[in-house]
Amino acid sequence: MEDAQIVVPVDRTVAAARPLAANLAVKPAAGPTAVLMQVRNLNVWYETGQALHDVSYDLKRGEILSFIGPSGCGKTTALKCLNRMLDAVPSIRIEGLIRMEGKDIYSPDIDPPEYRQRFGWVAQMPNPFAETIYENVAWGARIHGLMRDQAELDAHVETCLRRADLWDEVKDILHATDGTALSGGQQQRLCIARALGTNPKVLLMDEPTGSVDPIAARQIEDLMMALRGTLTILVITHSMMGARRIADRVAVFHLGRLVEVGETEQVFSAPVSIEARNFVNGLVG
Ligand SMILES: Nc1ncnc2c1ncn2[C@@H]1O[C@H](COP(=O)(O)OP(=O)(O)O)[C@@H](O)[C@H]1O
Ligand SMILES: [Mg+2]
């Protein structure tokens, strides 16, 4: 079973104190199962011009990979390529190779709706439906017909809310309260629970803590760390501190190019490229 091959990232609080060679020594051996998605020479043009230039990186199973970089440098575009969210944008041109589990995601036998089901999407602004908490979380499983009966759906909703660290706060008001009536931080955790509803392999998160207060942001970061391992997370992070705390690896974008990707501590403490150095030192952005 594929989940048995999940790469459990090392505990950085321990690993960070070791020299880099020792960190590498405790990583699982690199192999085809460690890589969930491969992106090679990705170029994207909108009607207005080129947004991504020759972007290449791997997304590893079970990791948190964080995209950082100044506003407008192509992070959201790069994220939306992965689940084919940009297919419907008029006049867009996408070139390059994206593979999931070794298979080209634009291969003719890939069914886009089925393919998108492998991803959960979490936006910066919490955007629950104006429906009950229960219906928000049940939505994905309902539209994809994932559960056989009401009891299974109830159990699934509970599991998703527990994974999103929201169950204890809402278990008595599931059918009585709309998702939109919750606090900002709760709404965002509800959106995470909703995103988990289709049993995705990957969570794509576009600045998920960008519009909540610092305590709520910390709670969301904690739950992302709890989810990693069973799930792969690609997150655009506006907060350098947040990225440094939660990400296993970091990719730095600059003017539509991925200028550096590496282990979080290495990128923050000893960035190789001048663009990454300037960004992590707060000189741009
Ligand atoms: N739907 C779109 N149509 C035209 N241009 C777009 C669209 N989305 C983004 N862009 C442009 O692509 C570039 C990268 O944007 P984006 O991926 O949103 O960057 P970031 O997330 O790093 O802020 C920007 O110049 C932006 O104006
Ligand atoms: Mg963006």
Q: Which residue would you say has higher pLDDT here, 8 or 30?
A: 30
Q: Is 246 in the pocket of ligand 1 (CB under 6 A)?
A: no
> What pLDDT score does 211 carry?
95
Task: Give mean pLDDT, residues 233-261.
Answer: 96
> What pLDDT score does 282 carry?
86
* Residue owning tokens 């291969």: 107
By CB atoms closer than 10 A (0-12, 13-18, 19+), residue 78 is: buried
Measured CA to CA, the distance from residue 166 to residue 160 in angstroms comes to 9
Q: Mind listing the pLDDT tens digit for each residue in 130-160?
A: 999 999 999 999 999 999 999 999 999 999 9
Closest-lying ligand to the alpha carbon of 208? 2
pTM for this entry: 0.88
∠ CA 62-246-207, nearest 5°, is 95
Q: Tell me the pLDDT band of 284, cut-offs 50, 70 and 90.
A: confident
Residue 44, strand partner residues: 52, 94
Instruction: Enter the DSSP assignment of 27.
Output: S
- Residue 72 C-alpha to ligand 1 middle, in angstroms? 6
Task: Give mean pLDDT, residues 45-57.
Answer: 97
8 Å CB contact between 177 and 145:
no
Measured CA to CA, the distance from residue 239 to residue 67 in angstroms comes to 11
- Residue 9 C-alpha to ligand 2 middle, in angstroms? 26
8 Å CB contact between 271 and 69:
no
In degrees to the nearest 10, what's the CA dihedral of 242, 245, 249, 255?
Answer: 20
> What pLDDT score does 168 carry?
98
Q: Is 91 in the pocket of ligand 1 (CB under 6 A)?
A: no
Q: Tell me the pLDDT band of 33, cut-offs 50, 70 and 90.
A: low
DSSP for 113-134, please give it: HHHHTTEEEE-SS----SSBHH
Task: Give mean pLDDT, residues 176-185.
Answer: 98
Q: Mind listing the pLDDT tens digit for each residue in 63-110?
A: 999 999 999 999 999 999 999 999 999 999 999 999 999 999 999 999
**With 90 as the cut, is the pLDDT of residue 226 above it?**
yes
* Tally of residues, the chain: 285
Q: Which residue among 76, 85, 254 is best mutated to probe the pocket of ligand 1, counting the most ligand atoms within 8 A of its Cβ? A: 76
Q: Is 46 in the pocket of ligand 1 (CB under 6 A)?
A: yes
8 Å CB contact between 64 and 246:
yes
Q: By alpha-carbon position, which residue is closest to atom 7 of ligand 1?
A: 46
